[in-house]
A and B are shown apart, each in its own frame.
Chain A
Amino acid sequence: MDARLERILPQVQKPARYTGGEYREVIKDRAEVDIRMAFCFPDTYEIGMSNLGLQILYGAINAQEGMWCERCFAPWGDMEEQMRREKLPLYALESGDPLTEFDALGFSLGYEMAYTSVLNMLDLAGIPVRSADRRSLTPLVFAGGTSCINPEPMADFLDLCAIGEGEELDVEILKLLRRAKKEGWDKPRFLQNAAKIPGVYVPSLYTPVYNGDGTLARVDAAQGAPEKVTKRIIEDLDRAFYPTHAIVPSTEIVHDRVVLELFRGCVRGCRFCQAGFAYRPVRRHSTQFLLEKARAALEDSGYEEITLSSLSTSDFKGLPELADGLLEWCEPRKISLSLPSLRADNFSMGLMERVQKVRKSGLTFAPEAGSQRLRDVINKNVTEEALLNSCRIAFEGGWNNLKLYFMLGLPTETDEDVTAIARLAEKVLHTWREYAVNKARGVRITVSTSMFVPKPHTPFEWEAQVSIDEYLRRVKLLRESITSKSITYNWHEPHVSLIEAALSRGDRRVGAVIERVWRSGGKLDSWTDYFSMERWLEAFSACGLDPGFYALRTRGEDELFPWDVIDVGVEKRYLARERGEAYAGRVTPDCRARCMGCGANRLLERRGCDE
């Protein structure tokens, strides 16, 4: 171990985050490796190690001969301070080697508030943050992940973006890099060739041109670069890499259990949900495959808990068989099974009963909006009747702690819709009074609201976010409408949501704001410990930009968006149609009831959606 690291570890909180050495960490012989990648996660170890994408890509890349993928996370403030004092550059956990020795740094961009940490990690490694300032071929700095479906705010910092699912794409990029190294290509030559790989977006090959009003006039693509970059997907999930030999952290992380991914995409089409559109088309694992992999992952890890993960787990077609098969195996081994994100409409009590025998602590439903009218607008196909029915079953089953999630500031929302949240919570409470089996224990109903953030590649990508003042007015209205002492109301701070909205629909000019925020000390912005609204507002203003232009402005119907260069499958004309349906208050049936032709099936070559 580096002597500087040994000196500082006793002085930082939770040092096991910074050492590596966990079970199933991959160590390779440097002599047999010609491509070294660091998978960089711009958040803490506990968050990053809970990310299934990290475990998948780590395994998929390390399965390649001659390639060694290591991990690197953002240090917490105390560690960063010590590292800067000791002049210890940011290193990868497996080898302890500084990031400058790597051929490629692949950042996982899952959420916008991680952007400043990307810059901070590059700087901690002693690497220039701007792509243009990095002249040599390596280390190549690229990124993937959900946020890359609008790559523009980070365009100045990244050499390339891998759009879509990375299992195959990342390996193709690294293979090209291997060839480039061997043949002595310079960086421009490599990037020109990389742009030919389907799913690769090379920001430096595209030049945005703006109108006088700040909107985008056009984007000039350099010769050889595709007009649009189409998202990559894995068509047959059962044939892709599955992480049954995942790293088992030696210190506690956020999701400390086996995560079993059932399917990708979602059949529902909730109009506010970016993942619901961006991850289409729907593709599933076979039940048999999942049963085998679940057992293998549990046996290999020693975990005593497994959770089923997908956008809408209860929509998995083989769920009863899968749950039966898993429980049959898990119960005698005292392994617990949890089912997150259940929909309130097809909530199956029998299943819940069997799954959570001991813990009846909490149950969460997300109606998202209080009135049926607004739920129809956002296409959250849950009726009040269905929700109350699910609550009745839960209360009869002994639950007495229920959480309800809502968003404030959804398009077309009126005060009537806001107070409807309070009325709905009252009805849930009434249901408890009528059906609870153990009333003596009391009931706790928690209502939470967050501020709606319009996202790219959704039917609401044209929409304005409400202002912070307006959000707080609605919070006050709702708070005053809730009278029962059994109902608790929590609301999320709106400031981060405003910045998130500005970043998620930002253009390339926003990169300067991100850099300025970082230069004035910004990092780990998803943590209240570090987020500073003043810092962001100051940076926007210093860069001559207005966060309101990005967050609070209703876009023109025909406006060209910075993220239109990315084709995620679902077409813009379909999103526009869905937006029209939202304003008409009309719901769209789920994909299984009827295909509405969103366009995502174009990404499939051999099979149909959801097969």
Chain B
Amino acid sequence: MNRILFAKEGRAVYISHLDLMRTMQRAFIRAGVKIRHTEGFNPHPYMNFALPLGLGMESRCELMEFSLIEPDGPEELPARLNAVLPEGIRVLRAYESDLKFKYIKWLDMEAHLFYYNEAHPAAAIETFFSAPALVIEKKTKRQTANVDIKPLIASLKAADAAKGEVLVSARIAAQDPGLSPPQLISALEQLDSALKPDFVRFKRLEVFDKDMAVFR
């Protein structure tokens, strides 16, 4: 299978997952890159994304899988696609891989926490997350469950980045079960409201397999 590694930044972070698929589809057509369609009654271009990214979140490690009809010249793909992609979506690499996305286990993320009262609770946040268990409410469409997220956090650091701004860097479980970056930060709000930030900016940095090797 063909794959691209791409970044989603700037104004493009507000493009939803469904809209991203449409955007990619059109970009491939604009670039004149032909990809295989699904079989069936209503064929559409086959495109598979690893770990759909939340709306408003930035990422440097998005992966998309597809199948080129004419397999020559994938090395030119990044340049060809980048010429026709909207601002903020940038293809970093094109390559081939047969590793299934389900083997992604961990991801590195950053969260910039903003406190309008100019607090700087970095140390307190690290202490908070070093607790032996962190049971939070996780809402799904059907029900609310209490879950201990501690096993889903491989590592976490917090540092004061600026006045009223804390940078949290963490490696968290990506899927089955996964922890979303907003869920991680919501633990603060749920368990210690004094640490609740006024605004958070999220960024996804890298994805890993179960052995903590970079996943491609």
Contacts and interface: CB of A to CB of B under 8 A. Distances in A.
Interface of A: 1, 6-7, 9-10, 14-16, 18-23, 25, 248, 250-252, 299-304, 334
Contacts, number: 69
Residue picked from B15, B25, B28, most chain A C-beta under 10 Å: B15
B183 to A, nearest CB: 15
A301 B10 CA distance: 22
A1 B22 contact: no
Given A15-B55, A252-B19, A22 B86 contact: yes
Interface string B1-43: 0000000001110111011001101111110000001000001
Given A302-B26, A302-B29, A16 B15 contact: yes
A373 B88 CA distance: 60
30 contacts: A1-B11, A6-B199, A6-B201, A7-B199, A15-B55, A15-B56, A16-B14, A16-B19, A19-B11, A20-B11, A21-B11, A21-B87, A23-B23, A23-B84, A23-B85, A248-B26, A248-B86, A250-B12, A250-B23, A250-B86, A251-B15, A251-B16, A251-B19, A299-B30, A301-B30, A302-B25, A302-B26, A302-B84, A304-B29, A334-B43
Residue picked from A7, A22, A250, most chain B C-beta under 10 Å: A250
A1 B11 CA distance: 8
Given A10-B56, A250-B86, A302-B84, A19 B14 contact: yes
A522 B106 CA distance: 50
Given A15-B14, A304-B29, A252 B22 contact: yes
B172 to A, nearest CB: 20
B30 A302 contact: yes
B170 to A, nearest CB: 20
Interface in B68-87: 84-87
A249 to B, nearest CB: 9
Residue picked from B14, B55, B85, most chain A C-beta under 10 Å: B14
Interface in B98-128: none
Interface of B: 10-12, 14-16, 18-19, 22-23, 25-30, 37, 43, 55-56, 84-88, 199, 201
B23 to A, nearest CB: 5
Nearest to A14: B16
Nearest to B202: A10
Given A15-B55, A23-B86, A251-B19, A9 B29 contact: no
Contacts of A20: 11
Contacts of A21: 10-12, 86-88
Contacts of B14: 9, 15-16, 18-19
Contacts of A301: 26, 30
Contacts of A252: 18-19, 22
A10 B185 CA distance: 15
A476 B199 CA distance: 55
Residue picked from A1, A18, A251, A302, most chain B C-beta under 10 Å: A302
Contacts of A23: 23, 26-27, 30, 84-86
A10 B25 CA distance: 25
Nearest to B26: A302
A20 B11 CA distance: 7
A25 B12 CA distance: 13
Contacts of B88: 21
A302 B86 CA distance: 12
A334 B25 CA distance: 13
A19 B16 CA distance: 13
A44 to B, nearest CB: 16
Given A19-B11, A299-B30, 10 more contacts: A7-B199, A10-B55, A14-B16, A21-B86, A22-B86, A23-B84, A25-B87, A251-B19, A300-B30, A302-B27
A509 to B, nearest CB: 43
Contacts of A15: 14, 55-56
Contacts of A304: 25-26, 29
B199 to A, nearest CB: 6
A14 B55 CA distance: 9
A215 B97 CA distance: 77
A303 B87 contact: no
A1 to B, nearest CB: 7
Nearest to B182: A10
Rank and list the top 7 A-B pairs by shortest CB-CB distance, nearest first.
Answer: A302-B26, A21-B11, A302-B29, A302-B30, A15-B14, A21-B87, A19-B11
Contacts of B201: 6
Contacts of A16: 14-16, 19
Contacts of B37: 334
A18 B11 CA distance: 10
Contacts of A19: 11, 14
Nearest to B87: A21
B125 to A, nearest CB: 21
Nearest to B56: A10
Contacts of B15: 16, 250-251
Contacts of A303: 26, 29
B192 to A, nearest CB: 22
A16 B19 CA distance: 9
Contacts of A9: 14, 56
A20 B201 CA distance: 19
Nearest to A11: B56
A304 B56 CA distance: 28
A248 B22 CA distance: 11
Contacts of A299: 30
